Amino acid sequence: MSNRILASDIGQGVVFITSGGTSIPIDPVRSLENFSTGVRGARLAEYFLKANWNVIFLHRSSSARPFRHRLDIEMSPEKFVIVQEDYIKSKDRLLEIQFDTLEDYFGELEKYSKVLENSIASRKMILLAAAVSDFTTASKSSKIDSSEGFSVIELDKVAKALPSVTFSWAPSVPVFSFKLETEEEKIEPKAIKYFDQGVKGVIGNVLSSRRWKVSLIMKDKPTVNMEIDAVNSVIEIEDLLVSRLISVL
Amino acid sequence: MSNRILASDIGQGVVFITSGGTSIPIDPVRSLENFSTGVRGARLAEYFLKANWNVIFLHRSSSARPFRHRLDIEMSPEKFVIVQEDYIKSKDRLLEIQFDTLEDYFGELEKYSKVLENSIASRKMILLAAAVSDFTTASKSSKIDSSEGFSVIELDKVAKALPSVTFSWAPSVPVFSFKLETEEEKIEPKAIKYFDQGVKGVIGNVLSSRRWKVSLIMKDKPTVNMEIDAVNSVIEIEDLLVSRLISVL
């Protein structure tokens, strides 16, 4: 399947999207999680597929997946068929890979960054939408007894993978990263720091307004703010964002 | 809706099921989680509904929900209609309440335990299938900067809510709790301790085999082991478990 996805004769380009949050196991039933529903990534994948791109979708096993996240028990059978047809039309151009832990994530990130670097596709892009933990901890192999207890969880810092993607694994591919903050004024100063790490652009968003408002921050270009009507919009913000990303390549 | 669910003229009984794992926020995007997909709870709800019981289903917002968890983009439209019809047939007897954090969970647990205690239904049951954290930590109100860092997460022990359910909120209602372990030999000794806390029975299961093997451990009664063929079974273990639970009331 991977070969077919990366063949030159199908699609307008190839995008590698990471989506969802990582899990750091504490024991077999407890973990430290980074929040992400994966809806952003799933929708980005759909709009790239609609634009006739091929998509490698690296996602947390439990997070939203393209088309599937639109299913609902209360939808009409006619609507079910429409969503299913959209999926069937696209599935030959969609390669879905799952991760849970940091180790899974980094392994697949390296693999598919290199796949993209070596692809003969004329248009390529990497979108790092996954929420990846900055910290890790040692996991116990069996469930910790609550009566034994543990009063602290000790954390170690995780080395950033971003420079490996941009400088080592996929140096010829434009890489875009995402910056989610709870305060808007933190986004731009933080985004700028990524340019030194080789990213082409940063998609900034605030947790509370992320479904209707995003900014595309690029080096030496004015920041583009995109916004839709939070309540009445018939389009999704990811539709605008994908068009914009394709146009700045 | 709550009144209708608890009316005496519909259903064979009323069951209150808790399902999914709690979330302890560390900051707005990071959290400490207890693992549970919620599939066990969702299926239990379905089989109680099938037995014509009314169900109050308190579940983690992101975990599996009755009928909905059976939807798949690759299912035939005919199969979609069958699942939807099962849902429509049952939805007037199903009350779904969501939680994320420990505080949400304890608040709803108290509320619906008392609702059950005061219900005039002749048959009642509480099934505590949710995976609830034994620990909590103080949350930051804005996203922690990874460059500031934090090297430890300090944990405080959470008071057990079980005795409140059994002795204070719903003393007349049979309460069953669940014991998930990674090692089988730990289940029975731990289950026995719950009898002093007022539970009628404990459903024990091992993480790796939980989809096909459970035990019902009750005071002064022989333990009942239930098992289905892990690969070829046409029935689900929760179907057996619900029949057994109704029969021991």
Stretch (H or E) spanning B106: helix B102-118
DSSP state of A71: -
User: What is the rounded distance in angstroms from the CA atom of residue A66 to the CA atom of residue A56?
Assistant: 11
User: What is the rounded distance in angstroms from the CA atom of residue B208 to the CA atom of residue B196?
Assistant: 28
Q: Any chain A CB within 8 A of the CB of B85? A: no
The amino acid at A39: V
User: What CATH number labels A2-140+148-173?
Assistant: 3.40.50.10300
Q: Of 3.40.50.300, 3.40.50.1220, 3.40.50.10300, 3.30.365.10, which CATH number belongs to B2-134+153-248?
A: 3.40.50.10300
**Biggest CA pair distance of chain A:** 61
What is the sign of the dihedral through the CA atoms of A62, A65, A68 and A69? positive
Residues 6+ positions from A72 with CB-CB distance below 8 Å: B68, B71
Collapsing DSSP states into helix, strand and coil, what is residue B202? Answer: strand
Place of tokens 């089989």: B47
Alpha-carbon dihedral angle through residues B85, B89, B92, B96, given to the nearest 10 degrees: -50
User: What is the rounded distance in angstroms from the CA atom of residue B151 to the CA atom of residue A153?
Assistant: 8
Do B128 and B40 meet the contact criterion of CB atoms below 8 Å apart?
no
Do B212 and B228 meet the contact criterion of CB atoms below 8 Å apart?
yes
**How high is the pLDDT of residue B20?**
96
Cβ separation A28–B155 shorter than 8 A: no
> Å from B152 to nearest chain A CA?
5
Stretch (H or E) spanning A80: helix A77-90
Place of tokens 């996602």: A59
Q: Any chain A CB within 8 A of the CB of B81? A: yes
DSSP states of A128-184: E--B--SEE-PPPSSPPPTTT--SEEE-EEPPPSHHIIIIII-TTS-EEEEEEESSG
CA distances from A138 to A61, B102, B201, B207 (A): 22, 24, 35, 20
Q: Any chain B CB within 8 A of the CB of A208? A: no
Among A29, A36, A181, beta carbon nearest to B180: A29
Q: Which residues of B touch A31 (CB under 8 A)?
A: 32-33, 35
**How high is the pLDDT of residue A159?**
86
CA distances from B225 to A59, B209, B213, B214, B244 (A): 37, 13, 7, 6, 11
- Name residue A55's beta-bridge partners: A15, A94
Residues B109-152: tens digit of each pLDDT: 999 999 999 998 889 999 999 999 988 888 888 877 776 666 78
User: What is the rounded distance in angstroms from the CA atom of residue A237 to the CA atom of residue A230?
Assistant: 10
Q: How many CB atoms lie within 10 A of CB B31?
A: 21
> Å from B40 to nearest chain A CA?
15
Residues B171-208: tens digit of each pLDDT: 999 999 999 888 889 899 989 999 999 999 999 999 89
Cβ separation B153–A150 shorter than 8 A: no
Q: Any chain A CB within 8 A of the CB of B151? A: yes
Vertex B238: Cα angle to B1 and B32 (nearest 5): 75
Prediction ipTM score: 0.87
pLDDT values of chain A reduced to their tens digit, one per residue, 249 residues: 455 666 545 568 999 999 999 999 988 889 999 989 999 999 999 999 999 999 999 999 999 999 999 999 999 999 999 999 999 999 999 999 999 999 999 999 999 999 999 998 989 999 999 999 988 888 888 877 776 666 788 888 888 899 999 999 999 999 999 998 888 898 999 899 999 999 999 999 998 999 999 999 998 899 999 999 999 999 999 999 999 999 998
